[in-house]
Structure 1
Amino acid sequence: MRAKRWIALSIAIGLFIVSIGFRFATSVASTDWESMFDLSEEVAGTNEKVVEEGSPTNKIAVLQVNGVIQEGASSSLLATTSYHHRRFLEQLEKAGEDRRVNGIILNVNTPGGGVVESAEIHDKIVEIKEAYDKPVYISMGNTAASGGYYISAPADKIVAHKATLTGSIGVIMESYNFAELADKIGVDFNTIKSGEYKDIMSSYRDMTEDERAILQGMVDDMYDDFVQVIVDGRDLSEKRVRELGDGRVYTGEQAQAVGLVDALGSLDDTITMMKEEQDLANAQVVEYGQRDGLEQFLAGAVQNLTSPEAKLTGIKEMLRQNNGPRAMYLYSK
C-alpha cells in the first residue's frame, strides 16, 4: 500500500515538474524578445556615440548602411551588425528633424539590395535635403555598388576610397530552374492557376518567350529609373549615364575619373571635408544606432534566435528567397 502511495506521489511530482517546464517554455516562446532588447522599435538617434568632440548643439550625424539593403535581418547567429531597413529610415528621419544636426554623412558599405528599399532611402535623402536644407555626404567603404550607388546619387558629395568597388549600375532578376533535374528524378509539379502568367518565373519549368519579354520590360523600366536618379543627382547626361551603366563595377579611382565620385578619401576625410565646406568646424560628430560589446552580441543573438528566418536552412532557405521574381539593384560577385 505504501509503495503505491510513493508511486502516486512520484507521478504527481513528475507531472508538476512537466507542467512548470511547459509553462516556462510557453512563456519564453511568447515573450517579445525583440521589444525587450529594443531591436526594431528603437527610437532612432537616441543611442548616439560621440566620434569627435565639439558643440553638442552643432552636430554631424554619421549613419551606417552596412549589408544588403533589404527588409528583415540576417539569420546568422553572429550577424549582429546586419542592415535593418526600418530602423535606418527612422534614423535618417531623426537626423533630418533634429535641429542640432547640421550635416549628415552616410557610411555606405553595401552591394545594394531591393529595388523598393533602395528607392525608399533615395527618396528620404531627397526629402531631407528639400525639407531641412541639410547637406548629405556619402563615404563609400569596401563596396557601394548597384543599390549602394543608387542611394548615393542624390548626395551633395560622394567620397570613395580609391579601392572601393562601386558602380554596377543596373537591375538583375534571377531564379532557379529545376525542371531538368525534376524530370531526371521523376518529380511532377501540379500547378493550378487563374491566368496564363500567374506562375511566371516558376522554378519548375522553362520560361516562355512571352514571359521573358514581360520580365525584360519590367527590368528595363527599373533601369530607366536608376538612370534618371543618376542624371538628376550627378548632373550627367542620360546618354553618358547609359554608357557608364552597363553593369560593370568601377574602383573608386575609376569612378572619380568618369564623374560618378567627387573625391577620394576615408570616412575621416569625409568628415573633414564636410566641416571645411559646410562651415561646421566646431561640430560634434556622432554616430547613430551602434551597440558595443556584450550588449551588441546579446541583442543580435536574441533577435536571430527568435526570428522566423532562424528556422529556415538549406534548400528551404533558398526556395524562400526565390519564391517568385524579385528585381534587385544588387552587385553579385
Structure 2
Amino acid sequence: METCPLIENLESKPKASLFNRLLGGVGKFALSIIKTVLIIIVVVGVFRALFGQDGMVLERVLREGSSSRRFAVVRLNGIISTQTLNSFTRHLERAVNDPSIKGVILSVTSPGGTVAASDRVHHEIMRFKSRTGKPMVAFMQGIAASGGYYASVACDSIIAEPTAITGSIGVVMQSFNVQNLFSEKLGVEAITIKSGEKKDWPSMFNEFTDEQAAYLQEKLVGPAYDRFVMLVNQGRPGLTLEQVTSLADGSIYHAEEAMAGGLIDRIGYLDDAITLLGEFAGVANPETVEYAEDFGFGGSLMSQFKGVSSLGSKLSRETLNELTSPQILYLWTGQ
C-alpha cells in the first residue's frame, strides 16, 4: 500500500516535546516583558531629564517632633570636592529658604579634600549663619579630619561620636615624578619650552630639587597651612594660637583626645547633637529632617550617554590633567 506523500512528509518531521514548546513560550513572554520594561525606563528617564525632575533636594524625617520648628541635617560626606560642594550648597540653601528650619546640624563623615572646596564649605557655613542668624552644630561621625575639621570649626559648636577620628590639621601636596621611568626605562625625553625657570615647577618629567620644595612650601603649602591654623583659632576661641599650632602638626585625634585638647565641645550621638542645637536655638521637641539629592534615573541615563560620547576627550585631556597636576589638599591620606 502506498503512503500518502503528505502523511509521509509530516511523519518525517521531528515532533517537539511539550516541555520544549512550553519553554519556548515562556522565553518569548519573558523577552517581551524585558523589552517593555526597558522601553518604560527609557521613556521615564528621558521625560525626567527633559522636564527637570533631576537634582531635586528631598527630605526625610529622622526624628518626629513639631513640624513648625524643625532642624535640618546637612551632610558632608566623602572627599570634599567641587561636586561635594555643589550638593552641600544646594542643601544649605534649602534650609535658608525654609522658615520652619530653626537650626542646622552639619553631619561630617570626611577625611577632607581639596583646599579650595574645603574653604568654600567653611565660607558657605559662615555665610549661612550671617544671612539667617540660625545656629549650626557640627556632628562628627567616623572620620572628620583635615578638611572635614576645617569645615566643622565654622559651626557654633562641635560634637563627635565616641569613635570619631578628627584633627589632621595641615596641608599635603602630592605629585608624580616619572623622570627615571621615561628616560631610563622607556628612553623617552621630555621637551619643555618655558618663559621662566619656575614656570613648570614641579614637573613630573624633571628632577624635583630642594629648591623647588622650598619654593612650593613658601608659595602653596605654607599659606594654606597658615589659613587653616587661623580659622581653627577663630572657630575655637577657647584655644590660644600657640595651642592650635601645637595641635596642628598633622596628627589625628580620637574623640577623647580631641575633647581634652579643646578641638571639640562634646562627645555624643545624633540625639545629643539635636539637644545641643536646641540649646542654641531655644527650641524643644523639633522635627529633625535630613536632605538628600534625587538625581533620578534621567540624570543617571543622560550622564552615561554623555560619558560614552566624551570618553575619549576625558581620557586624553581631563583625566590626564588631573593625574599630572599637583594637588594641594586638606586631606588625611592615612586611610
Pairwise TM-score range, normalised by the shorter structure: 0.7 to 0.9
Give the 3 Å change call, closer, same or farther, for CA 251–315 of structure 1 in structure 2.
farther
Pair 1:122 & 2:122 matched:
yes
AA aligned opposite 2:78:
G
Cα contact 2:166–2:253 (8 A) shared by 1: yes
Cα contact 2:176–2:324 (8 A) shared by 1: no
Cα contact 1:54–1:285 (8 A) shared by 2: yes
Partner of 2:152: 152
Larger radius of gyration: 2
Q: Deviations over 1:78-113 (max 9, x none)?
A: xxxxxx321211221331343221110011000100
Partner of 2:326: 325
TM-score, with length taken from structure 1 = 0.77
Give the 3 Å change call, closer, same or farther, for CA 36–150 of structure 1 in structure 2.
farther
Q: Distance in 2 between the 1:38 and 1:189 partners?
A: 49
Q: Distance in 1 between the 2:47 and 2:317 partners?
A: 25
Partner of 1:221: 223
Pair 1:243 & 2:242 matched:
no
Q: Deviations over 1:26-82 (max 9, x none)?
A: x99xx898776755xx35xx411122222322110101111100023xxxxxxxxxx
Deviation at 1:315, TM superposition (A): 11
Q: Deviations over 1:180-204 (max 9, x none)?
A: 1112221111222222222111111
State the superposition RMSD in angstroms: 2.9
Cα contact 2:85–2:120 (8 A) shared by 1: no
AA aligned opposite 1:64:
R
Q: Distance in 1 between the 2:299 and 2:110 partners?
A: 19
Deviation at 1:302, TM superposition (A): 3.6
Cα contact 2:107–2:138 (8 A) shared by 1: yes
Partner of 2:70: 59
Deviation at 1:322, TM superposition (A): 3.0
Matches within 5 A, 1:285-300: 285-291=288-294, 298=297
Tell me the matched-pair count.
286
Q: Deviations over 1:262-299 (max 9, x none)?
A: 111122321233235532213211111255xxx86x47
Pair 1:105 & 2:108 matched:
no
For structure 2, the 5+ residue unaligned runs are: 1-41
Q: Distance in 2 between the 1:265 and 1:118 partners?
A: 25
Partner of 1:21: none
Pair 1:68 & 2:79 matched:
yes
Q: Distance in 2 between the 1:303 and 1:256 partners?
A: 46
Runs of 4+ in 1 over 6 A off after TM superposition: 31-37, 312-318
Secondary structure of 1:121's counterpart equals helix
Pair 1:268 & 2:271 matched:
yes
| More divergent stretch after superposition (315-324 vs 100-109) | 315-324
Cα contact 1:166–1:252 (8 A) shared by 2: yes
Q: Distance in 1 between the 2:141 and 2:306 partners?
A: 29
Partner of 1:89: 89
Cα contact 1:159–1:263 (8 A) shared by 2: yes
Cα contact 1:161–1:253 (8 A) shared by 2: no
Cα contact 1:104–1:136 (8 A) shared by 2: yes
AA aligned opposite 1:270:
A
Q: Deviations over 1:141-195 (max 9, x none)?
A: 1100000000001211111112211100001111111111112221111222222
Secondary structure of 2:264's counterpart equals coil
Q: Distance in 2 between the 1:308 and 1:175 partners?
A: 26
Give the 3 Å change call, closer, same or farther, for CA 154–178 of structure 1 in structure 2.
same
Secondary structure of 2:197's counterpart equals coil
Secondary structure of 1:159's counterpart equals strand
Partner of 2:181: 181
Secondary structure of 2:327's counterpart equals coil
Q: Distance in 2 between the 1:250 and 1:319 partners?
A: 35
Partner of 1:79: none
